[in-house]
Amino acid sequence: MASGTKKAKDKGIFIIHLTQAGKTLAQRLKGIFPEARMMKFRKSETLCGCWPQARAFLFIGAAGIAVRIVAPLLENKWEDPAVVVMDEKGRNVISLLSGHAGGANRLARQVADFLGGNPVITTATDVNSLTPVDVFAAGHAFVIEPGQREILPAISARHLEKKRLSVYSDLDVDLPPDYRRAGTPEEADVLITDRTLEADGMKNKKDFLYLRPKDIVLGIGFNSGVGAGEIEEAVEAVFEEAGFSVSSIGLIATHEKKAAEEGLREFARGRGLKVRGYQSARLNAVSSAARSEAAMKALGARAVAEPAAVLAGGGELIIGKRKHGRNITIAASRMKGAISGMKGAASKGVASGAGVQKSNTLVVVGTGPGGLEHLTPKAIDAIRESDYIVGYKSYLAHIAPLIKGKRLVSSSMTEEVMRVKEAVRLASGGNKVCLISGGDPGIYGMAGLAIEVAANMDPALEVSIIPGISALNACASALGAPLMHDFAVISLSDRLTPWEVIEERLEAAARADFVTVLYNPKSGGRQAQIERAREIMLAHRDSKTPVGIVTDATRQEEDAVITTLGGMLGHEINMKSTVIIGNSKSRRLDGRLGERMMLTPRGYERKYSY
């Protein structure tokens, strides 16, 4: 069973320094790793406590000291974090440990590029300008078949000796220049497939490596109370009999009620898989599935395993319904658009033309109010892992240290449609593309436009959204707690929304006594809208209602003012401002808490004494 250990992406980066000069360098490194934790090294126990939580250590000091410190902690190249060592001037940046699997080589190059230093890489394939097979696999989201990791040194040695690798692939995947496409599995050093090819005459072939695409959807139905061990046994038995690798399972699909069962959840956690559950009506819409009286009686579904696999995969079945013992039914499909032109598929009963997903993805990332310190770790990872960064040039300037050396596509304020089209085009071409959106991409950001454009240009493109701190969050925090009760958010920009519609929404929010957040309140070409918004609010609220105006939230030039609805126009308001108009209960707190505190009570005072 696969290990349930913490994934590398969920772990952190630690910057270890010994001297004051080292600390100064560590602070510089925070510019590119804002999420990293800085620590002064005092004794070995410092690292012992951090080792399990780390994906990388940046050690500022002598390499010999680093070696002595980490040596007792080492386990293996697959589990150990990356260790990069540099001198306190940042002149030489050494990939010391876990260069490929842990990403230390990549990290050393990134740090050296940022500092203007020299990356020191000693792994043989890199020195010989070859593409390491484990790096190639990681770049395409392939996994090395468990139990074959000990073969990797032999494959790498052969690669170094011949200066090329022979690869047989069921996928239409681009290969590096030092990889040669093999015509048959027997000729290959590396096999990229979700099938087990031993049955095709490979039993006598030794020292070949399987790379597994995560392209199979496991459809499963089972009786209540079935444990993870029994599910594991059933899945492995059915997949072995059908000639497929369980390592290629990328998703589990079942009935929504079964998705909540602990046995399946434990099985999924152990393999790092997500479970997707479907209602009976969705499952019943798949008419090709054979009827199961047991499923109909228990769940109201004609079947579970087959239709769940078909719905989640979007393609044809590669393993039809198979019963294992008395409790479990298994089926499997291949994700639609995954493998293009399966070779030898017919001999294994695999639908020809079923397509593994390429690595083409579009990630819409919210960068928050501006500073690197406000980015989420997930956003930082997405930016680092992308081939292209696309965004409004001012937003890109805020994250400049993170995107140094990246391929950039930038444009001006009103050219967002062009930017998104280019981002979709690049992602559809097999690239990992990061589309930058200030604040939160789902609040007046780029998420909606990205989904719309992708749906028109490439419906199969994988689009994901990473949230960010929105302007309303950042501005509210600068004012105190003005959004503690129901609130409405309205943009005063009539570039995309008719002003008549905006007025109707302002009227509704004012009449309903919502705290009202105004985005885009004023610009050089829009002066009257904020005045009209104030008029509408004054028709329903007292002129002494507190109003907060925040400009350049969280930045050095931040300016936060608490005024009144009657006096708000006497203060500077521009496109970088956000205006928060309180409701009838909102108030300004003076005295010990300071004059900048604005509060909208949640209602606790009616039920509790404090």
Q: Which helix (H) or strand (E) holds 385?
A: helix 377-385
Instruction: Compute CA distances 426 → 385, 434, 446, whole Å.
Output: 15, 10, 16
Q: What is the pLDDT of residue 337?
A: 60
Q: What is the pLDDT of residue 356?
A: 34
Q: What is the pLDDT of residue 524?
A: 81
Let me know how many helices (H) and strands (E) the chain has, helices first.
19, 29
Entry field: residues in the chain: 610
Pairing assessment for the beta strands 216-222 and 328-334 based on DSSP bridges = antiparallel
Alpha helix positions (H), 217-324? 228-242, 262-271, 280-284, 293-299, 305-313
Q: What is the pLDDT of residue 178?
A: 94
Q: What is the pLDDT of residue 358?
A: 45
- What is the distance of C-alpha 149 from the center of its chain? 27
CATH code of 216-334, in short, is 3.30.420.180
Question: What class does CATH assign to 8-122?
Answer: alpha beta
CB contact at 8 A, 551 and 577: yes
Intrachain domains 8-122 and 216-334 with the same fold: no
Compute the distance between CA of residue 501 and CA of residue 268 in angstroms, rounded to an integer.
Answer: 48
Compute the distance between CA of residue 479 and CA of residue 331 in angstroms, rounded to an integer.
Answer: 56
Q: What is the pLDDT of residue 45?
A: 64
Least Cα distance to 210 among 158, 272, 146, 161 occurs for 146
Q: What is the pLDDT of residue 298?
A: 81
Compute the distance between CA of residue 464 and CA of residue 602 in angstroms, rounded to an integer.
Answer: 34
Q: Is 505 exposed, middle or buried (0-12, 13-18, 19+ CB in 10 A)?
A: middle
Dig out the tokens for 526 from the structure.
């829009």
pLDDT, one tens digit per residue, over 445-483 is: 999 999 999 999 988 788 999 999 999 999 999 999 999
Q: What is the pLDDT of residue 357?
A: 38
Q: What is the pLDDT of residue 373?
A: 84
- What is the distance of C-alpha 457 from the center of its chain? 22
Phi, psi of 143 (to 5 degrees): -115, 145
Q: What is the pLDDT of residue 345?
A: 35
CB contact at 8 A, 113 and 404: yes
Pairing assessment for the beta strands 82-86 and 361-366 based on DSSP bridges = unpaired
Global pTM value: 0.65
Compute the distance between CA of residue 181 and CA of residue 184 in angstroms, rounded to an integer.
Answer: 9
Fold type of domain 361-469: Cobalt-precorrin-4 Transmethylase; domain 1 (3.40.1010)
Q: Domains of the chain: which residue ranges?
A: 8-122, 216-334, 361-469, 476-604
Concatenated DSSP letters of 30-89:
TTT-TTPEEEE--STHHHHHHGGGEEEEEEES-HHHHHHHHGGG---TTTSPEEEEE-TT
Alpha helix positions (H), 217-279? 228-242, 262-271
CB contact at 8 A, 424 and 442: no
CB contact at 8 A, 513 and 487: no
Question: What class does CATH assign to 476-604?
Answer: alpha beta
CB-based contacts of 353: which residues, under 8 Å, 6+ apart? 340, 341, 342
Q: What is the pLDDT of residue 160?
A: 92
Three-point CA angle 151, 153, 157, nearest 5°: 120
CB-based contacts of 384: which residues, under 8 Å, 6+ apart? 110, 402
Q: What is the pLDDT of residue 332?
A: 95
Compute the distance between CA of residue 418 and CA of residue 561 in angstroms, rounded to an integer.
Answer: 37
- For the chain, which residues score pLDDT lower than 50? 1-5, 340-358
